[in-house]
């Protein structure tokens, strides 16, 4: 998409701070079921599910964890089996060797430093092996302790198309979004963009003709 056309299109819509509230409201009406797709029953299962979700689908993770969480109920269970056994149990999620090592490292830290409890502060979560800023943001938000905005591929793409950021780096995109999205909406905003990205604003063929954001999105006018 030529930059000159994008620049011209951005001039035809209101500033992002004026558009953000109607963007959120329209997406909330269009996607009332926009919540995390991973299935879990407690903070530990949430942490494991999000760690396993890297580079695979939520459907695959839910299929794997359906069996996994019957076998592994506490941090000590992940350390009680041989590494190769844990690898086999999560093989379907891809990059299973690295994920298995990260899971064991995280469980060891939970046992030794956090009294078997999953921490909720971002600076503590990112200390766990295999937990980056995105994973930490997801876990914190689902624990009711939102401290940032999750930036995945859908959030990145839609934020750029909506003219909410021009950045490419996820950390910089998050900072841009935190400046404009009301803090009360930090947790649900990524879910709204993710579901809209899956259902309407496809990466290759966005369906602008049926998009509820058409009048608010500069990219729809290019």
| Rounded Cα gap, residues 222 and 57, in angstroms | 31
Catalytic, out of 152, 172, 176, 185: 152
Catalytic residue flag (residue 89)? no
Stated length of the chain: 222
Q: What is the pLDDT of residue 2?
A: 45
Fold classified for 43-142: Endonuclease III; domain 1 (1.10.340)
Q: Which residues contact 147 (CB under 8 A, 6 or more apart)?
A: 121, 122, 137, 140
Q: Which CATH architecture has domain 3-34+148-221?
A: Orthogonal Bundle (1.10)
Count of other CB atoms within 10 angstroms of residue 153: 11
Quick one: what percent of the chain has pLDDT higher than 70? 94
| Rounded Cα gap, residues 145 and 139, in angstroms | 9
Task: Kindly state the tokens that stand for 195.
Answer: 């579901």
Average pLDDT of the residues of the chain: 94
Using the predicted structure, report yes or no on whether residue 7 has a pLDDT greater than 90.
no
What does the angle CA 35 – CA 118 – CA 99 come to, to the nearest 5 degrees?
80
pLDDT band per the 50, 70, 90 thresholds, residue 221: low
Catalytic residue flag (residue 134)? yes
Q: What is the pLDDT of residue 147?
A: 98
Buried b (16+ CB within 10 A) or exposed e, 184-195: ebbbbbbbbbbb
Any idea where the domains of the chain sit in the sequence? Answer: 3-34+148-221, 43-142
pLDDT digits 0-9 by tens, 117-160: 999 999 999 999 999 999 999 999 999 999 999 999 999 999 99
Task: Kindly state the tokens that stand for 57.
Answer: 């689908």
Quick one: what percent of the chain has pLDDT higher than 90? 91
pTM over 0.85: yes
Using the predicted structure, report yes or no on whether residue 1 has a pLDDT greater than 70.
no
Q: What is the pLDDT of residue 13?
A: 74
Catalytic, out of 134, 176, 185, 202: 134
Contact 20, 28 (CB under 8 A): no
Using the predicted structure, report yes or no on whether residue 3 has a pLDDT greater than 70.
no
Contact 211, 220 (CB under 8 A): yes
Task: Kindly state the tokens that stand for 27.
Answer: 């997406």
Instruction: With both helix axes pointing from N to C terminus, report the angle between 43-52 and 96-113 in degrees, rounded to the nearest 10.
Output: 150
Q: Which residues contact 211 (CB under 8 A, 6 or more apart)?
A: 200, 201, 217, 220
């Amino acid at each position: 998409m030529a930059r000159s056309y994008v620049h011209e299109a951005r001039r035809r819509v209101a500033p992002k701070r004026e558009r953000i509230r109607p963007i959120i409201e329209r997406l909330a009406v269009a996607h009332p079921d926009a919540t995390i797709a991973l299935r879990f029953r407690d903070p530990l299962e949430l942490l494991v599910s999000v760690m396993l979700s890297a580079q695979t689908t939520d459907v695959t993770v839910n299929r794997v964890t359906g069996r996994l969480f019957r076998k592994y109920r506490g941090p000590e269970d992940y350390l009680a089996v041989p590494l190769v056994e844990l690898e086999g149990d999560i093989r379907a999620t891809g990059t299973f060797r690295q994920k298995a090592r990260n899971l064991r490292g995280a469980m060891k830290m939970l046992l030794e430093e956090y009294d078997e409890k999953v921490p909720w502060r971002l600076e503590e979560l990112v200390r766990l092996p295999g937990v980056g800023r995105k994973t930490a943001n997801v876990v914190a938000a689902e624990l009711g302790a939102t401290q940032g905005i999750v930036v995945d591929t859908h959030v990145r793409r839609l934020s750029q198309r909506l003219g909410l950021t021009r950045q490419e780096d996820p950390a910089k995109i998050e900072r841009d979004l935190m400046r404009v999205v009301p803090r009360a909406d930090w947790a649900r905003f990524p879910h709204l963009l993710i579901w809209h990205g899956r259902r309407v604003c496809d990466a290759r063929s966005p369906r602008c003709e049926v998009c509820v954001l058409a009048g608010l999105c500069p990219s729809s006018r290019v």
